[in-house]
Chain A
Amino acid sequence: MTLAADPAALDLRTQATALMRRKRIGSMMLPVGVLVYLVYALISFDVLGLLGRASTENAATLLSDTWSYKTHVTRDNRSGAVSYAVEGERKGEYPEGMHPDFVTEDGETTITDLGDGHIVTFSPDGVSYDIPGYGLVTANPGRSGVQATFPEGDLPDWINASGNRVAITTDAGRLTITRNRSEVFHYSAGWELFFFTLDSPYHGMGVADLASRAMGGETSQIFDDFWNNTMWRHGDVAWALVETVLMAFLGTFGAAIVALPLAFLAARNFTPLKVVRFGFRRVFDFLRGTDALIWTVVLSRAFGPGPLTGALAILLTDTGSFGKMFSEALENTDGKQIEGIASTGAKPVQRYRFGVIPQVTPVFLSQILYFFESNTRSATIIGAITGGGIGLLLTQAMITQKDWEEVSYYIILVIALVFAMDSFSGWLRRKLIKGD
């Protein structure tokens, strides 16, 4: 008797095949469904339109500003006065009589070396730009216009010229000439004036020189000049970082302190009264459901912008989360230990202290530290909304759309901070839970 001949077996086989087919179709449905949903999202988010609108110019500015800075060499064409300023900002201006290394001053003539043979000369006779591989561009800006002369042939597209304005953008730098002003942008790698601004006597000093001066008793002045650097404001940035951590710290641990007693009231094995339990659970649900966003908005109305508002918003949301998690952990405690303590004649408070707390402490601590870690990240964004901490500095620097090197600096600091908090809380967790 073969299997195929047996009608019962044949039936079984068709059933099995049908089942397999159904299962295969079923397992196909999930990826197809996900794909359909993603296509819908692609359309509803208008991704194609967005790609069209995306500004590659912005991206390029962001990238180049991140690793380089520009120095403006500006001449007032009427008075002939030349000034130098880092990023064209007043706080980055070179003091009278000082000039960057790439500039040579020779009487009335100022020669700016942009590197790779690109030389821009400001002289009483006019402005000239020697571009290797193209030729010499000269201009004599004055009342009647820029009056520029170019080498023979059509103008390349990196030169933009009209009667009143000439702009030349090369890989080495940029020259703009108008009737009243001639300006050269010189690009250099790095973050400008990161340690000392130009008005500090310590600007441009080597590490060894600084160290010897520090030994000589100038440590506090050196530190002061660095800390109050007007360009980078290291002191303010450090405070912002402290504020961010403070928000996370106060919020997380405050929430834990508030939630701990409440969790006992919401745990089945500690509160026999169902009404009380139900009530506290709904309170936790409400606190959690009203998101940190809503709490932040509501609280900043009462307390104004600042780190305290952020801390309270984190505290309220996390009280809900901790209350829920703690009460679940309390429900999972082992009753035998409590019975054992009770059998020695312990009073209720002692029963909790020696029977319950040692059981739940490791669980609670690890949850609290995990939240502390993730709240450091949340504090950045809450700070951006309430106006406190590094989040505020980050959004401010972004809004001006100018100081991208500062944006990169803050981003690096935020990531470093989160990393540091991660490893710190991991270390603490190991120390407190596994150690002693």
Chain B
Amino acid sequence: MPDIEIIHDRYMEHTRRKRLYGGMLLAVFVALMAGGFMTADARNAGGFWDGLGAIFDFPAGVISEAVEKAHTLPATMLEYLPALVETVNIAAVATLIGAGGGIVLSMLATRGLARWPRAIPLFRRIMDVMRAVPEIVIALVLIFVLGGGPVPAMIAIAFHTIGALGKLFSEVNENASLKPVEGLESVGARWAQRMVLGVMPQVAPNYLSYALLRFEINIRASAILGFVGAGGIGYELKNAIAWGIGRYDQAAAIFILLFLTIVVVDQLSSHLRDLLTHGRKKEMLA
């Protein structure tokens, strides 16, 4: 019986210690949140509690003006359609280039597939760096050199996308079977041929699924970069807001367009991704 008592005591002590650590961690977290909130509140131009009352003023102004001019709203939305197309184009081109670069980098950085196995850590590091650089940094530098417009935003987003997709792709590559690659090698295929014919067919659905997810993220990024001067719907939004009261229907039109685009792309891509992952399973089971 003393054995059990010892075990019981040890267990209770362990639990107590765990609870203590958990409690301490929670206390630190709560203190950080509270302290952080207070600091942010103090350094903000308007206070939190004052702002909370005014939070609906701007949306209310926009909505009332939009309702007032409801009959011209579709026309206004149509007017901003080209800017929206530009934003979507930026995201699409950046995703395509990013996926292309990501595929190459990911293969160079996967064990078993790499062209130069010794350089794997190098390519991984390159992807890490590309992923870490925030888009706005590259966009602002390029706007200075190239002038405003969609291209700086596109390059900035593509750069980040290469790193982000490269990492996800290389995780997919690790699960690819090496048998087709070996088979192709035995008949004398070059590295590029081995990758395109041996690996790509295995991983294409997963690649596509990740690329779609990235496209979704890139639309948001491209809209937000427009706000700092890179063209597209974000730029128009900045102007519409700067005009102020009387032109809020323009802002409303842009809000609606942006919201609809994001929701539609979101739904479409999640449906497609579902099809890519589950549809195949069903096909195989049937």
A interface residues, Cβ below 8 angstroms from B: 34, 37-38, 41, 44-47, 50, 53-55, 58-59, 62, 239, 242-243, 246-247, 249-250, 253-254, 285, 288-294, 297-299, 301-309, 311, 377, 380-382, 384-385, 387-388, 391, 394-395, 398, 401, 407, 411, 414-415, 418-419, 422, 436
Contacts and interface: CB of A to CB of B under 8 A. Distances in A.
Contacts of B36: 246, 249-250
B149 interface: yes
A418 B163 CA distance: 14
| Highest count of chain A CB atoms <10 Å: which of B46, B55, B262 | B46
A69 to B, nearest CB: 19
Contacts of A58: 144-145
A37 B58 CA distance: 39
A49 to B, nearest CB: 9
- Nearest first, the 4 A-B pairs at minimum CB distance are A306-B44, A304-B45, A304-B46, A301-B58
Interface in B55-114: 55, 57-59, 86, 89, 92-93, 96
Given A307-B43, A308-B40, A289 B134 contact: no
B48 to A, nearest CB: 6
Nearest to A61: B144
A386 B203 CA distance: 41
Nearest to B99: A34
Nearest to B153: A45
15 contacts: A38-B96, A62-B141, A246-B36, A246-B40, A250-B36, A285-B266, A288-B266, A293-B224, A301-B58, A306-B45, A307-B43, A380-B136, A381-B224, A388-B44, A391-B136
Given A50-B146, A303-B47, 10 more contacts: A45-B149, A45-B150, A54-B145, A55-B147, A253-B33, A289-B263, A306-B40, A382-B224, A384-B228, A436-B18
B258 A302 contact: no
A276 B92 CA distance: 36
Nearest to A51: B146
A81 B229 CA distance: 44
B27 interface: no
B38 to A, nearest CB: 10
Contacts of B29: 253
A387 B32 CA distance: 23
B234 A293 contact: yes
B89 A297 contact: no
Interface-centre pick from A59, A242, A243, A294 (highest chain B CB count, 10 A) = A294
Nearest to B140: A398
B132 A415 contact: yes
Interface of B: prevailing SS: helix
B224 A385 contact: yes
Nearest to A34: B96
B237 A293 contact: yes
B204 to A, nearest CB: 10
B110 to A, nearest CB: 20
Contact of B140 (A243, A301, A382, A394): A394
B243 interface: no
B223 interface: yes
B51 A384 contact: no
Contacts of A254: 33
A388 B89 contact: no
B45 A47 contact: no
With most chain A CB atoms within 10 A of its CB, the pick from B46, B55, B134, B135 is B134
Given A395-B228, A398-B140, A291 B258 contact: yes
B224 A304 contact: no
Contacts of B93: 37-38, 41, 45
A415 B147 CA distance: 24
Interface in B132-174: 132-137, 140-141, 144-147, 149-151, 154
A305 B44 contact: yes
A62 to B, nearest CB: 7
B14 to A, nearest CB: 11
A295 to B, nearest CB: 11
Given A249-B32, A253-B33, A308 B146 contact: no
Contact of A311 (B40, B92, B263, B266): B40
B126 interface: no
Interface string B211-252: 000000000100111011000001001000100000000000
Contact of B51 (A288, A302, A419): A302
Interface string B112-131: 00000000000000001100
Contact of B137 (A309, A401, A411): A411
A42 B136 CA distance: 22
B238 to A, nearest CB: 9
